Amino acid sequence: MEHAAAANGSCCNGNGAAASSPPPPPHVAMLATPGMGHLIPLAELAKRLASRHGVTTTLVTFASTASATQRAFLSSLPPAISSLSLPPVDLSDLPRGAAIETLMSEECLRLVPALTSLLLDLKKTTRLVAFVADLFGADSLDAAAAAGVERRYIFFPTNLHVLTLILSLPELDATVAGEFRDLAEPLRLPGCVGIPGEDILMPLQDKTNPAYRWMVHHGQKYREAPEAILVNSFDAVEPGPAKILRQPAPGRPVVYPIGPLIQGGKEEDASSPCPCVEWLDRQPEKSVIFVSFGSGGALPAEQMRELALGLELSGQRFLWVVRSPSDEGTVNENYYDAQSKKDPFAYLPEGFIERTKDVGLVVPSWAPQIKVLAHRATGGFLTHCGWNSVLESLVYGVPMVAWPLFAEQRQNAVMLSEGIGAAIRVPESKGREKIAATVRELMEGEGKGAAVRAKVAELQKAATEGLKEGGAAAAALAEVVDKWTVGEKC
């Protein structure tokens, strides 16, 4: 895809164009480390910059994630957003089974020279005003500095609770003896819900794993971020840390909550009708619980079986996006490619599909999540608590059952269930009776279920208000954009 903004006519690029020629639009380079959960909110940020502020963008991706899913997504973006891929990196020297956080961090670090060259080229063809790296791209800020890009940002696609933890890691690393999972009391950080040790961010659970050291490294780099950290969250869902992080503090960059940034429905439109939506059209209002573990999640076979039997036992209507189990890999084994590795239906209990055909629909690998959550028939969402899915659920006013798998998802589940009250968490045992009881409570319960449904309705309104012109999120992003053109030298 060609860049939307050519440099012709810009006095700032020193090409001698006539003064009457309009300058090209401001241009931003954004680095998306592997994972659709990182790319999608960055792309949404780019779209908002284009539609509201006339800013064009280049999304920079890694060769390791050049999947059909990613290519299709990038090709669907508006003309103001172009994309470039960095060259492949040899990671064969890393230990077999290295954590995803280690793989992403190492790949980013090794690509700093190539990224520096790419940014220097972009400066020749665009009015490059800023560089934005996502959460595992902290080392890429060095490439932007080497290329002479003065305004450099971290884009944090998850929430303020997780950001507070990462910003605190250098100090926690020096003061917390032993493993986080062995803490006798929940970890309490400024403004945040107390997080039990076993629910703290997964890569921090084993201090001997290189992923732990990488996270501490990122925490230090975040604190040194020269401009600001942009966060895909909003005040109402995390009032405590939002209040703390909005206050200037030494040794910490300015934090701007600019969310919720979620994928719009247009990307998922198709010329042919979607069977999921056609099925939902035939269901009563708010009667269906949507079950999906995100683009990268997979359950162990036994949990997959208990979930199936729990949904059946609940008596509730359900739409379940099912993938083959994770027994031979990990719960995040679909991280780099969302397609199911084997036939997932072969792992369901015998007779399950036939017994539940009148109340349930099971689809393999993928469903149009935005359309499902926005549908009048959807009344609940059993989710892995990936932050993109959480924000989508809140924007469309769908209460949640929390079933976290990896990354920061367990921490998110604590914040959502124990903190803000927007979800009910499935008990750790994951037995069919408890699954059924949790689903029933969310969908029709008069106690905790009713409270969760009311809270989500309240958060939906707050999210919508913040994104309107003059709302908190819109104003925060406008403040950032204003800095990109103030003081530009010609």
Which residues carry out catalysis?
38, 134
| CB contact at 8 A, 360 and 311 | yes
